[in-house]
Copies of this chain bind each other. A is one copy, B any other.
Amino acid sequence: MAMPADEAAVDFYFDFASPYAYFAHGALVALTRRHGLRLRYRPVLLWAILKELGLPPPLEHAAKRRYLLHDMERSAAYFGLPFRLPPGFPSSGLAAARLFHALEAQTPPAWSAGAGAFVEAVFRAGFIEGRDITDAAVLAEAVVAGGLTQQQTAAQPEAGKAALRQANADAVQRGVWGSPFWFHGGEGYFGADRLAQFERSLDLARFDRGAG
């Protein structure tokens, strides 16, 4: 049986500088593929969202910061993912997010296929190779990884400014207050540790539809 329109997509709100977004990404790609869902990337700037909401950044307080830095290493091992904190962590996802939105606006057909590869390439550069994801050369490599030609990489991050601002506003309006945060069928999930609950809910929905 066909799914309602709003259940055919997963909207994935995340900050490129968020390790937990990296941890969730590969699993979300696999899960959405397995269930025939479209993964819609919505890069945002977490600090701007938290500032607008009046919430403190997760790494601001010493006790939480100490815990989270250790939890990131432990969670990466738990998910079986390579990981190292980049020098100067946390970095800024601003340049990557603006570039993503600029590319999405300028090259829609090629881009919708390559967006996932771009996102994964940025995560790989930042969280596996310890490179600087604010560096234009690093981002240009991610664009190529996304299947766009050198010529197409001419998209200016500045062009994505308005789209990023809109994504942030949408995120706030939909109740996002952390990264990663994704929505499916009106239901929101915060954090890589909600992957198991999301997977269970998709499996149950498939069972309910008799698709076994």
Contact = CB atoms under 8 A, between A and B. Distances in A.
Interface of A: 53-56, 61, 63-64, 66-67, 70-71, 74-75, 78, 172, 175-177, 188, 190-191, 193-194, 196-197, 200
**Copy number in this complex?**
2
Given A78-B196, A197-B75, A177 B64 contact: yes
Contacts of A53: 61, 63
Contacts of A190: 67, 71
A56 B66 CA distance: 18
Residue in A56, A70, A190, A193 whose Cβ sees the most chain B Cβ within 10 Å:
A193
B55 A55 contact: no
Q: Is the interface of A mostly helix, strand, loop or mixed?
A: helix
Which of A56, A63, A70, A71 lies at the interface centre, i.e. has the most chain B CB atoms within 10 A of its CB?
A: A63
Given A74-B197, A196-B78, A177 B55 contact: no
B78 A177 contact: no
A193 B54 CA distance: 25
A194 B193 contact: yes
A175 B78 contact: no
Contacts of A66: 175
Nearest to A172: B63
A78 B193 contact: no
Contacts of A67: 175, 177, 188, 190
Nearest to A181: B67
